[in-house]
Chains A and B, each alone.
Chain A
Amino acid sequence: MDTPHMSSTHQQTQPLSALQARRTFLRSATGLGGIALQALLAKDNAASATSSELPPDGRPHFKPRAKNVIWLFMRGGVSHMESFDPKPALTQYAGKSIAETPFADVQSPEKLKKVRVVVVNDANGQQRNKIYPLQVGFKKYGQSGIEVSDWFPHIGSRIDDIAVIRSMWTTDDNHGAQVQFHSGRHMLDPRVPTIGAWVNYGLGTLNENLPQFISMGPRFFDRSDGHYLGPAYDAIKLKVDPKNPLAFAKPEGNVSRAEQKLGFGLVNQLNKISGHEYPSDPALDARIKSYELAFRMQTAVPDVIRFDQETASTRKLYGLDQKQTRAFGEQLLAARRFAENGVRFIQIMHGDGAAGAWDQHSNLKAKHSELAMQVDRPIAGLLQDLKQRGMLDETLVVFATEFGRTPGSQSSNGRDHHPHGFSIWMAGGGIQGGIAHGSTDEIGFHAVETPHYVTDVHATLLHQLGLHAHRLHATGHQRLEQDIGHVIHDILG
């Protein structure tokens, strides 16, 4: 792959090794490479910044532990009690109303106050009083002996690399909590940037041929990320389809690569000539760079999602050999390849539908087991693959969902939305493996021990990337203490 009319330092014919990447990264921070573009873009977006509010310059604030993030989000609400937070008491008290159990006080109004209702009188998102027994068994895995449900045996087998957080809470009892998990703000609040956009905003690029922030799979309610940071920080939506991976990736007409190369070359030559007339126009420089990146992206992106160099055993690891696991497995394999090539933030959502597939108001056992099967092997495969390639140390994997599900039953065989306590996990990127952090009460109702609001996950992630959340801000926009969160130090390695 070559690019017309560019200095040779910008040409990359091979995916960057970690070292090369680091070097390019440091060099570009001095003003020549992608960072320069980034800085120009930032300048465009914050033309009025006062001296103390300059946007980040693309360098981490302190030595980072992680380079990339793979963000896996299960849309709809995974039952914490049937995945990573076993509650045998549910089986013991099955059929009783919560009021009849020793845990009646979980429903005291004071404890339920945090919830902010979006949809008034909704049929869902209600208190469910009749205890519903566990629908799946649990086993202990690894040296740590952490229990994981039988629906996630492969993830269980990687538990010694994983830190489970069993004490998450949020405040939206409806699926707008997906927005909340990504941005930290409730659906009824103004929209603010998502965590991926902040990472994109805060850090420089590791590969000048690829976007920094990629999303795959269905989107959540809110369809953009950058918000007041601007569309430059939105995720670029990709499909695992080398023929058509992103919007306008290929000419929608009969234009050959050779013609295009000459065309792009002409555009940049002419733009540079215009630079004589407008020597202090920063947009012109940025425009020239954007054409160079666009030209390279056209081949670089499809190259990454072409799996022909991957061995049969790697494909199998991600479940590409099985129908149920193939679709998600392909996205995860692409994620690894993107991470390997220096993409900062790879966001993958699982579970289609308006609310998200994991939304089992009924039929929990059948549907949850089916959905778990789609993701379990690919995710375990990803962790194993990252580890054997020596990438897990620098790649932070997050497994999350918008909320948990009620201890009580809904429509006889399901569970309702539950924001008061639920589980997520993190692995790699300097996170300690084999630990279960925090806890909910005996019936999985409230996060009781070291409760964590959703932005604590963001704070931890930024911390591992070497960023001070407090130093990421944009002119004219106030961030709340809650937007910033607190680093969960207990799970750091």
Chain B
Amino acid sequence: MLHCYWVVSVHSHQPAEPNSQPTQINYLTQIKPLLAEKCYSCHGTLKQESELRLETVELMRTGGDSGPAIKPGNPADSLLLQRISSRDDDQMPPHGEGSPLKPDQVKLLEKWIAEGCNAPAEVVPVEPADHWAFQKLVLSKRQTEKPGNPIDLLLKQKRSEAGIQTAPPASRQTLIRRLYLDLIGLPPTQSQLNDNRVIAEIIDELLNSPQHGERWARHWMDIWRYSDWYGLGEQLRNSQKHLWHWRNWIIASLNKDKGYDQMIVEMLAGDEADPESIESITGTGFLARNYYLFNRTTWLDSTIEHTSKAFLGLTMNCAKCHDHKYDPITQRDYYRLRAIFEPHQVRLDPLPDETDFDKAGLPRVFDDDINRVTYLHQRGDPESPDKTQPMTPGVPAILASFEQEIRPIKLPPSAHSPGTRPYVLASHLAKAREQIKASEKKRIEAETRRNELSSKAVANSSQDIENFEFQDDFTTLDTTKWQLTGDGWKHRTGTLSQTKSTREPQTAKLLIEPPQDFDLRCNYTTTGGNTYKSVTIRFDQTENSGYANYVYTSAHAPAPKVQAAFERDNQSVYPPEGRKSFAVTVGQPHELRFAIRGTLVNIWIDGAFIIAYQYPNRRNGFLSLSGFDATVDFDSIQIESLSKDTQLRQANEKTATTVNEAEQAVKIADSHHKATIAHERMLRSMLHSVEADQLQQLSVADRQELAEIAGQRQAEWKLALLKYEATVNASDQKKLTLITEKLKQTEKHIAQIKESPIRFTPIKGSFKALESPADKEDQYPATYSHISTGRRLAFANWVTSDQNPLTARVAVNHVWMRHFGQPLVDSTFDFGLRSPEPVHKDLLDLLAAEFINSGWSFRHLHRLIVSSQTYGLGASTATASPDNLTKDPNNEFLWRMNSRRMESQVIRDSVLFLAGELDTTMGGPSINPGPEARRRSIYFKHSRDQKNSFLEMFDNADILQCYRRSESIVPQQALALSNSRLSIEMSNQIAKKLHQQVKSPKAQDFIHATFALILARPPSDLETEVCEQYFAQMKELEQVSSDDQIRSRFVQAILNHNDFITIR
């Protein structure tokens, strides 16, 4: 396997000329990779075991503690060969640290030594501590006071040293377009393109625009792995519900130019840094995003990997199972870092006016179990923890010189007991008051019902009721009453039979329409059928309306049942609450009865009540009998008006039918009502107490008393609840005994606290995400640890220390890449030993120092970069000197601007913006990513399961890892940009707008206006000619009916122009 490390270290050297002897072994391709794979991890710069290093031939000849490793020309005397061939204890690699070399590999080495250890000149890899990226930044202010942008000063000098000419600047309009797209992610309008102010003013305006935050938030969301929650149905499995709060936090933080150091502190430890600041806590959405229901180790692995890659440019993840092979990071370092994050969990904190966490909540992290121990997982296997040695939290040893002390943090009540926040109690109180109203209504209903039943002796049947009666026992088949559809119907005396088992319509329609409320009995026998064997009585039907309510029985063998169902718009709905299992049997006569009043239906089968169900609505219409996948004999049917005396059972809950039941129902409703009142009272006094605490106007003693009153109310509420439970379970002696016992205890408790009062226990105000699928949320306590470990804060302070050599370098590299299309350090998330010193390390360091010195201000950094002449250069290579193209074809010296493709979000937003259709509303919950949406793309739901198909075509951010977007070019992009509704509709809009502006019938004028708006430049003569030809050809098409149509298609073509989706 190829070993990246050596590739990098010999990078700048030419490989040796191939030797004329064809058999000679090539050190670089045959020997070095082998040694790298098998030996370097112990005998390389990282470990140097036995003082031996094998990374160059020179080092091998020098050898280590046991002398030289190789003797050129003398394989037998070469220690290296002896040890790799040994099968004894001194075998290399040692047992368990890699498989022994295969015989042909040993032979290869032998031959190479015999040939004299030929090798080209080699560079000795640096000591880890000397690695460029680990060197401290020089933060002293710039010494040279030469006028001009320091970026330009540096690069100009380098270009002139290298003999490379600088390209001419971009045209003003190209530069303005570039600035708009880079800084706010939207193209300039016509008037913005023609803005005459100095460029510096335009830059400031763009940097201060709220859309700047949206543009750059999307970049950081790539790097910080923004993902809305996903799971199965409503089950949360990854990330967090309402994570958009964190997205808004990113936008707002950038717009207020919050320091990057402060942003990092808030993301890693906002809850510890400022436990009472919603803003600070919202930053921890960064960590909440990594939540994974099924596996805590996977969750923490993601946290460690991406925290390290995003902020530090370190691939800590490689040290999970063993010491890092290329970087000075040990497996212990990995688990010490895990210990930093070990205590934290995720929860949703309450937001004002909402108690339902599915509707609203603030995702955040907090230290939950502060005593949880971290062990090193041997070979990365969580099943094999090394329990001999708990890991202490800490940072990688190589960068520990400025490690910050971990100090535990005492949390305020609002943090450890969110249920004591006044606004939380206020919203619970509002809900409790609604519950009181509801329980009171129920109590009144129960009382009314009792009164009705007890006065039932009073006769009341004198009122007129509709008198409908229909009966048929099929002695004859009366075709004035029945209309039969389908060929399966047979009649013989006393029976109407459906003899064909089919799913096609076979109905016996009753030509007399029953009244609205009726009582029906039908006797029939299911005689056979295919799968479902259903016998159906439909009503409320009109012809071809696709509407019906119905009741049916199914004799389907594994699960026979009775079901109330309905059909709307030809779709059948089988509500589970309208279904009961019942042994409907083929060949056995059944009586189905149902009575319907309004939307309430009661169903009886064979004389026994079985279902009460509420239809969603009713209509007038006819009734019919049929079979579905069934053959059936109908023996009789009887339908009459439903008597007002007939008491129907309510759906969902039992309605009392006797005076005793009614009396009991009143008791239950009453005790429930009392409990809701007690609940409201408790919440009210809690609110008094916490408000008093907050205002601090009352004396300490008075405040203590308020808290104790709330404690009293809390006990009284518990008592009221127990009384309610006792009433509900009055007939269950076993339960009642238990409840009575608790009642007694609670009464005793109340008596006690009257003597020596106690404060109330806070209510549960937050919603902790499940630690594993086996957990239930209600098993978690209402309050949390009063102490946070302070580990994450200490870690965050270490990350953002101005002594940390990585953080600023990694960040400015990301920013640079997004302005220039090429980073200064190619591996944006790996600044470790495999990352060679960049060509422009001086530039990187200059930017990093500027960044830190400005208070980690991104706005300052952007301004510095985009005001440079380098940034303002043209991207064209047409007039470039041939020297440039041969010496620096890849533009390493930035002698011109690089052309870049817009990111997917910028493409969509720009298309909408040009059409005047973009809705620039900011913030709020994530929206559905459908084609109708008009908001900026950053607000789309973006998760594994929800993505916008147009954005996906243009290399949308991968939610798992996206330190740098791909810029693929695939045919599906052409299809998306030419065939999507977005593109077609917006082209029509743009064409319409442009035509109104141009006010000229000439194609040429329209062509010019379109180029100006979409490409920010005038067309060349050749381009105008080609476009005019297009107009002429379009006119000749028979499919084209109007000039409007031609203009729309033309605009669409220009939207497909490579220069539109390219930032030049």
Contact = CB atoms under 8 A, between A and B. Distances in A.
A316 interface: no
Interface stretch (B179-187, B484-492, B580-588, B978-986): B978-986
Contact of B2 (A232, A273, A473): A473
A121 B11 contact: no
A271 B1057 contact: yes
A286 B966 CA distance: 15
B970 A232 contact: yes
Interface string A34-50: 00010011001100101
Contacts of B967: 44, 283
Contacts of A263: 978, 1049, 1052-1053, 1056
A190 B972 CA distance: 27
B616 interface: no
A470 B29 CA distance: 14
A470 B317 CA distance: 24
Interface in A268-287: 269-271, 273-274, 276-281, 283-284, 286-287
B972 A270 contact: no
Contacts of A288: 1058
A481 B1 CA distance: 8
Contacts of B969: 37, 40-41, 44, 232, 283, 286-287, 290
A262 B1033 contact: yes
B1049 A259 contact: yes
B295 A262 contact: no
Interface stretch (A20-28, A61-69, A246-254, A337-345): A246-254
B998 interface: no
A193 B729 CA distance: 60
A45 B1026 contact: no
Contacts of A44: 966-969
A52 B7 contact: yes
B966 A230 contact: yes
Given A247-B949, A249-B979, A479-B1, A256 B970 contact: no
Contacts of B8: 50
A290 B1049 contact: no
B878 interface: yes
Given A251-B984, A263-B1049, A231 B968 contact: yes
Interface stretch (B331-339, B385-393, B1034-1042): B1034-1042
Nearest to B11: A50
Contacts of A41: 968-970
Interface magnitude class on chain A: 35 or more
B966 A260 contact: no
Q: Which range holds the interface residue count of chain B?
A: 35 or more
B652 interface: no
Nearest to B822: A47
Interface in B327-378: none
Contacts of B468: none
A118 interface: yes
Contact of B1056 (A191, A267, A478): A267
Interface in B1020-1038: 1020, 1022-1023, 1026-1027, 1030, 1033-1034, 1037
Interface string B1048-1064: 01101110111100101
Nearest to B1057: A270
A119 interface: yes
B559 interface: no
A252 B955 contact: no
Contacts of A270: 1023, 1026-1027, 1053-1054, 1057
A260 B970 contact: no
Nearest to A254: B984
A104 interface: no
A283 B1062 contact: yes
Given A248-B953, A248-B976, A277-B878, A45 B1056 contact: no
Contact of A476 (B4, B949, B955, B1050): B4
Contact of B826 (A48, A190, A293): A48
B1037 A259 contact: yes
Secondary structure type dominating chain A contacts: helix
A188 interface: yes
Interface string B257-285: 00000000000000000000000000000
A341 to B, nearest CB: 16
A120 B292 CA distance: 12
A290 B979 contact: no
B1034 A259 contact: yes
A297 interface: yes
A118, A190, A263: most-surrounded residue (chain B CB, <10 A):
A263
Contact of B1040 (A48, A259, A276, A281): A259
A52 B2 contact: yes
A80 to B, nearest CB: 27
A269 B664 CA distance: 86
A257 B980 CA distance: 15
B879 to A, nearest CB: 9
B978 A231 contact: no
A120 B970 CA distance: 41
Given A53-B7, A188-B295, A120 B772 contact: yes
Contacts of B980: 248, 252
B435 interface: no
A274 B1037 contact: no
Given A52-B7, A231-B970, A119 B773 contact: yes
A136 interface: no
B987 to A, nearest CB: 9
A273 B298 CA distance: 52
Given A270-B1057, A279-B878, A354 B966 contact: no
A273 B1015 CA distance: 14
A223 B959 CA distance: 12
A363 B1010 CA distance: 65
Contacts of A274: 1057-1059
A420 B1059 CA distance: 55
B523 interface: no
Contacts of B1037: 256, 258-259, 262
Contact of A260 (B960, B978, B1027): B978
A120 B955 CA distance: 34
B429 interface: no
B889 interface: yes
A479 B3 CA distance: 11
The interface centre, meaning the residue of B885, B931, B972, B1057 with most chain A CB atoms within 10 A of its CB, is: B972
Contacts of A50: 7-8, 11
Given A52-B2, A188-B298, A277-B876, A264 B970 contact: no
B826 to A, nearest CB: 5
A253 B981 contact: yes
B232 interface: yes
Contacts of B1058: 271, 274, 283-284, 287-288
Contact of A251 (B11, B294, B952, B979): B979
A312 interface: no
A119 B1037 CA distance: 61
A488 interface: no
A448 interface: no
Interface of A: 37, 40-41, 44-45, 48, 50, 52-53, 118-122, 188, 190-191, 211, 223-224, 227, 230-232, 236, 246-253, 255-256, 258-260, 262-267, 269-271, 273-274, 276-281, 283-284, 286-288, 290-291, 293-295, 297-298, 354, 470, 473, 476, 478-479, 481
Interface of B: 1-2, 4, 7-8, 11, 29, 232, 294-295, 297-298, 317, 772-774, 826-827, 830, 875-878, 885, 889, 899, 901, 931, 944, 949, 952-953, 955, 958, 960-961, 966-976, 978-981, 984-985, 1020, 1022-1023, 1026-1027, 1030, 1033-1034, 1037, 1039-1040, 1049-1050, 1052-1054, 1056-1059, 1062, 1064
10 contacts: A44-B967, A191-B960, A230-B966, A232-B969, A251-B978, A260-B978, A263-B1049, A283-B1062, A293-B974, A470-B1
- Top 7 A-B residue pairs of the complex, sorted by shortest distance between their CB atoms: A253-B984, A294-B974, A294-B971, A256-B1039, A252-B981, A248-B975, A232-B968
